[in-house]
Structure 1
Amino acid sequence: MTHWAEEVARELLKIGERHVISTGISPSGTFHVGHLREILTGDAIYRAVVKLGGDARFIFLVDDADPLRKVPAGVDESFKEYIGVPIWQVPSPDGSSKSWSEYHLEPFLDVLNDLGASPEVIRTSRIYKSGEFKDIILTVLRNRERLMRILGDVTGRRLPEDWYPFMPQCTSCKRIDSTRVLSFEGEYVYYKCSACGHEGKVSVSSWAGKMPWRVEWPAKWRLFGVTCEPFGKDHAAAGGSYDSGSRIIREIFEREPPYPVPYEWFVLKGKGAMSSSKGVVVSAYDFVKANIPQVVRFLYVKYLPMTHVEFDPIWGSLNVYDEYKQYERVYFKLEEPTHGMKDVEYIYWLSQPDGEIPERPPIQLPYRHAVVLVQIAKDFDHFLEILRRQYSEEEINENVDYLRVIYQRAKSWVEKFAPENVKFKVLERVTRDVIGELDETQRQFLKSLVEIFESEEFTWSPQEIHSTIHNVAKKFGLSHRRAFGVIYMIFLGKPEGPRAGYFLYSLGRDFTIKRLKEVLEL
């Protein structure tokens, strides 16, 4: 079968050899994991076109000329005074010298770099300020009545007779959502502001305001020669902005619309569609920094763009990691593919941030195990020391850089996403106050464990440790909860914790025996 990105690329190359793949997001609030779908869909198509020998340009248009429409949850209400002001002119919510748009954009660009997605970043405000939009703005102003007919036909809504395809910025109150164009002459637009009553004129040869979305989108297609663009399914609906944009690009600018790649939403499990303004988000920054880049890319390139994804940043992240590693093992022929697996080689290639396939399969360290180890290890060197009990020195040395990423990302996952019952801290010392009074059965249970663990015949492995605890508990008539509960109390100070076999194995034989003996001496 052919991967969806390659299918799109082949369709594009039937049209021509040179392509501009465009993406666009407004930095009006926190960039969330749903926004990553826009960029990574575009990135996959861009890579697929280049792989097939095409000439491609990949751009990310940052819609920072949009007005601030509402104050997002968690932001001081004083920012209401900036509603209607272009977000590139709104102060940063943290009081720094950055603008509102740059405050939200910079962390997103950081994670795109992590993911190996490198679109050419173009701020819409810059296009207006440079005058690149001047001729297009004059064209749409001169074609106002034709645009009104097109938008009316597509949307079924009649526009007011005094509508103009431009939103001037009031030079007095700075709003662009409350001005009404009175007329235009040459490069000057005359307006009146309903918010403050000011009347004035602005020149479209530089920053003076912006076109409304349904006009600005096809204007960007015209300016940059866009041939392909992924966008949310709402724009693809009948009567949506892609339909109106297609009419405008053909009838006003005499060009063809870009090849459409609509995509479905990422829905936050249990909370519905993500919304920055409502605070219902998992930030792209937090999510990417808590998972290795290959796994994040895998999540987005594996599914068809129109596949609905219910996203769980907690256990879902761990499951996606496991699935990615399965694809990796199949790619390197370490195991056979399971039913339903397809496009393994292409998906694995697209999952690599730098587009380079490793020469050898990376270490197969389960993420579930990693999030336990980072809570045991004092630092990265200690993390490697623990892993040397399970993996060869050669394998550790070959994967140091890869393991460093896993170590850093797993620590972030624990900090940002782990439920409280998953978090733990190994006690530096144990006291009677912590574990309480042990009865004679529990003491005999622990004493028997020490004797077995100290035996030369005992194999110190996660499986053997777990089965030994289970069997000894059964011998002394202790329930599963009481037996494992006392183990967790001794090492963690709480009655539950990670899988005991892997946990004690990671702590090490000497430390485990020493701690059990200390308890028996209390």
Structure 2
Amino acid sequence: MSELPEHLKAWPYREAHKIVERSEKTKSGDEKGDKPTLFETGFGPSGLPHIGTFAEVARTTWVRKAYEHLTGRPTRLVAFSDDLDGLRKVPQNMPNQELIAEHLGKPLCDIPDPFGEEESFSGYMNAQLRRFLDSFGFEYDFVSSNEQYRSGAFNPGLTRILEKYEEVRGVITPTLSQEKRADWSPFFPICRKCGKVYTTRITGVNPDAGTVSYACDKSFRGIESCGNQDTVPVTDGNVKVGWKVDWAMRWYVLGVDYEMYGKDLIESAELSAKIVRVLGGEPPAGMFYELFLDENGAKISKSVGSGLTIDEWLQYGTLESLSWFIFQNPVKAKKLHFDVIPRSTDDHLQARAEFGRADEDERLNNPITFIEYDKIDAGEELGFESDLTYSMILNLVSVLNTGDKEIIREYLQRYDAHSEADDAVIDDMIDRAARYYQDFIVPTKEYELPSDEMMPSVRQLRDFLAGYEGSDAEELQSATYSAGKDHGVALGKWFKTMYRMLLGQDRGPRLGTFIHLYGVKETLALIDERIAQKEAEGSDAESGDDA
């Protein structure tokens, strides 16, 4: 069996190699011939696409690119919408909720569009999904569950499930409670009378005739049944199969070679893998990824509309910085909130700088190879030579207390005479930093004058700056450090004092870098202003005591 080349260490290559190993083990590559290797990503159109949707398609695309690099084989990515699924509850972030409530239990493709723009609920969601994916330049083929079932494309899989009915049941029933085992069936007929899918139960199975009988009399989350009884073929969209069986059938009929999934679907994936083997197929290679959490540590929810949206991220950070955040360690849970944007932006630019200086082998493992593959394919030279960072610009905006780009640029030029190639990136950072500062930093600013304990250190740094003729960030950092150390104060408390005094924040950049950026004279004037305020405060207190 082939080995993954040692120089390819990035996780998408490891995932891509799983597909190679699967193909060698099952000989599926021989069967495919020139047919593309199939990657799939799934979408539940009960709510609008969100940042988790982007992350799954992006990660799958990165594995796809790694596989193409390893093998040179053609590939195809399917974005599959499970739009024949029944609607179980009314999403909280939808309009016309009374309209939706009237159709609970019906397939999403048979429910009116609450927005009044498409012919169905899922029609609207599917259109949004395609616009969403198209806006980020993803290459994919859209496939609808509704179309696959009702066009007959899934008929071979549905017939096979009926043939293997008891064996499929044997995979799922051990995972159910005793009282549910007897009635469980992989098939959910869509009632011919009321159109609902979750209120029906199987009353008979006839593999020879290719039919099932049902009664629409099952209670499901308060959704009313109509009492209808009927016998229908399992083909042509008369029935839907339950989620785990549906997933397996999809793999079986479409011939999916790779699919990743969230950690919450690990058990489902394991059961679906067993079912696809019962049907005579082979489950795809894949991986599970950890879920995004909101700032409180709860899973983000598209139905509730919780969590940071892509539109919100893009107000303050670039798409590439979001991709960087998503790329890192996909099997580790990440809190997704506004505070991660500056660090992700800086880390992305650092990776770009390293990419620009790297040789070909080093570039292959740099995340830039994946998150900016479209620019690389277009022949763009990627790099970043400036020492400026988003965090640094944020702190400059904070102390200047302005969003005026010309003023900010004037200060930045003192620190870094960046090249024209980096100019557009820096200009964009200034815009985003000004928005971020106004929306997130201004409301939390809390200036604080130094305590009496810290004043000797403040005065020492002030006197150093008054006599300093240079502008070296390391010398300025050393002087700041010494001002605290020479007077025996706790250094953590000392630096916090300076950040509070100068920026109105608990944390900030290296003070030597900040002073160099803001200017020695300007910092000296700021410190003198704070010292004067401190002395005035002391005078007021003494006057009060005398009174």
Q: 1:142 to 1:501 in 2, by over 3 A?
A: closer
Letter matched to residue 403 of structure 2: K
Whether 1:399 and 2:422 are equivalent positions in the alignment is: yes
Shift of residue 227, structure 1, vs aligned partner: 3.0
Q: Give 1:150's aligned residue.
A: 168
2:153, 2:391 → 1: CA distance?
57
Match of 1:85 among 106, 125, 136: 106
Contact 1:274 1:280 in 2 (8 A): no
Letter matched to residue 392 of structure 2: H
Q: Give 2:381's aligned residue.
A: 359
Q: Give 2:62's aligned residue.
A: 44
1:501, 1:107 → 2: CA distance?
48
Q: Give 1:459's aligned residue.
A: 470
Q: Give 2:84's aligned residue.
A: 65
Shift of residue 507, structure 1, vs aligned partner: 4.4
1:142, 1:226 → 2: CA distance?
17
Letter matched to residue 7 of structure 1: H
Structure 1: runs of 5+ lacking an equivalent: 251-255, 427-433
1:261, 1:349 → 2: CA distance?
21
Three-state SS of the structure 2 residue aligned to 1:122 is strand
Three-state SS of the structure 1 residue aligned to 2:167 is helix
Contact 2:461 2:479 in 1 (8 A): no
Letter matched to residue 259 of structure 1: P
Contact 2:167 2:278 in 1 (8 A): no
Q: Give 2:285's aligned residue.
A: 260
Shift of residue 244, structure 1, vs aligned partner: 0.8
Contact 2:258 2:285 in 1 (8 A): yes
Q: 1:452 to 1:70 in 2, by over 3 A?
A: same
1:27, 1:414 → 2: CA distance?
36
TM-score (norm 2): 0.67
Match of 1:192 among 216, 223, 247: 216
Q: What are the Cα deviations for residues 94-132 of structure 1, in whole angstroms up to 9, with x where unaligned?
A: x6757765777777667655765332233333444xx42
Shift of residue 210, structure 1, vs aligned partner: 3.3
Q: 1:514 to 1:371 in 2, by over 3 A?
A: closer
2:199, 2:489 → 1: CA distance?
73
Shift of residue 392, structure 1, vs aligned partner: 1.8
Shift of residue 43, structure 1, vs aligned partner: 0.9
Shift of residue 261, structure 1, vs aligned partner: 0.8
1:171, 1:508 → 2: CA distance?
77
Contact 1:30 1:283 in 2 (8 A): no
1:13, 1:411 → 2: CA distance?
51
Shift of residue 263, structure 1, vs aligned partner: 1.5
1:239, 1:360 → 2: CA distance?
41
Contact 2:449 2:501 in 1 (8 A): no
Letter matched to residue 336 of structure 2: P
Shift of residue 24, structure 1, vs aligned partner: 0.8
Aligned residues: 488
The share of aligned pairs that are identical, in percent, is: 18
2:524, 2:322 → 1: CA distance?
40
1:473, 1:170 → 2: CA distance?
80
Three-state SS of the structure 2 residue aligned to 1:27 is coil
1:190, 1:452 → 2: CA distance?
87
Q: Give 2:542's aligned residue.
A: none
Whether 1:136 and 2:166 are equivalent positions in the alignment is: no
Q: Give 1:389's aligned residue.
A: 414
1:413, 1:463 → 2: CA distance?
28
Q: Give 1:175's aligned residue.
A: 196
2:346, 2:157 → 1: CA distance?
54
1:425, 1:102 → 2: CA distance?
46
Contact 2:189 2:201 in 1 (8 A): yes
Q: How does 1:274-313 map to 2 (within 5 A)?
A: 274=299, 276=301, 282-283=307-308, 285=310, 289=314, 291-301=317-327, 303=329, 308-313=331-336
Shift of residue 221, structure 1, vs aligned partner: 3.4
Contact 2:291 2:334 in 1 (8 A): yes
Shift of residue 181, structure 1, vs aligned partner: 5.7
Contact 1:192 1:199 in 2 (8 A): yes
Q: What are the Cα deviations for residues 462-521 of structure 1, in whole angstroms up to 9, with x where unaligned?
A: 5455555565678899987997777666665x4745335444554456755665666659
Shift of residue 298, structure 1, vs aligned partner: 4.3
Whether 1:228 and 2:253 are equivalent positions in the alignment is: no
Whether 1:23 and 2:23 are equivalent positions in the alignment is: no
Structure 2: runs of 5+ lacking an equivalent: 1-5, 219-223, 537-547
Whether 1:243 and 2:278 are equivalent positions in the alignment is: no
TM-score (norm 1): 0.70
2:236, 2:155 → 1: CA distance?
11
Q: What are the Cα deviations for residues 51-104 of structure 1, in whole angstroms up to 9, with x where unaligned?
A: 3321111111122332233456777986665542334555778x6757765777
2:269, 2:418 → 1: CA distance?
60
Q: Give 2:365's aligned residue.
A: 345
Three-state SS of the structure 1 residue aligned to 2:18 is helix
1:409, 1:106 → 2: CA distance?
30
Letter matched to residue 240 of structure 1: L
2:499, 2:357 → 1: CA distance?
39
Q: 1:445 to 1:366 in 2, by over 3 A?
A: closer
Letter matched to residue 224 of structure 1: L
Q: 1:54 to 1:102 in 2, by over 3 A?
A: same
Contact 2:40 2:78 in 1 (8 A): yes
Range moving further from structure 2, 363-372 or 472-481: 472-481
Shift of residue 398, structure 1, vs aligned partner: 0.7
Q: Give 2:140's aligned residue.
A: 119
Which structure has the higher relative contact order (CA within 8 Å, separation 6+)?
Answer: 1
Q: Give 1:216's aligned residue.
A: 246
Q: What are the Cα deviations for residues 311-361 of structure 1, in whole angstroms up to 9, with x where unaligned?
A: 1335666665565555545544479x9xxxx98536441232416175352
Contact 1:168 1:181 in 2 (8 A): no
1:231, 1:113 → 2: CA distance?
21
Shift of residue 4, structure 1, vs aligned partner: 0.9
Shift of residue 46, structure 1, vs aligned partner: 1.9
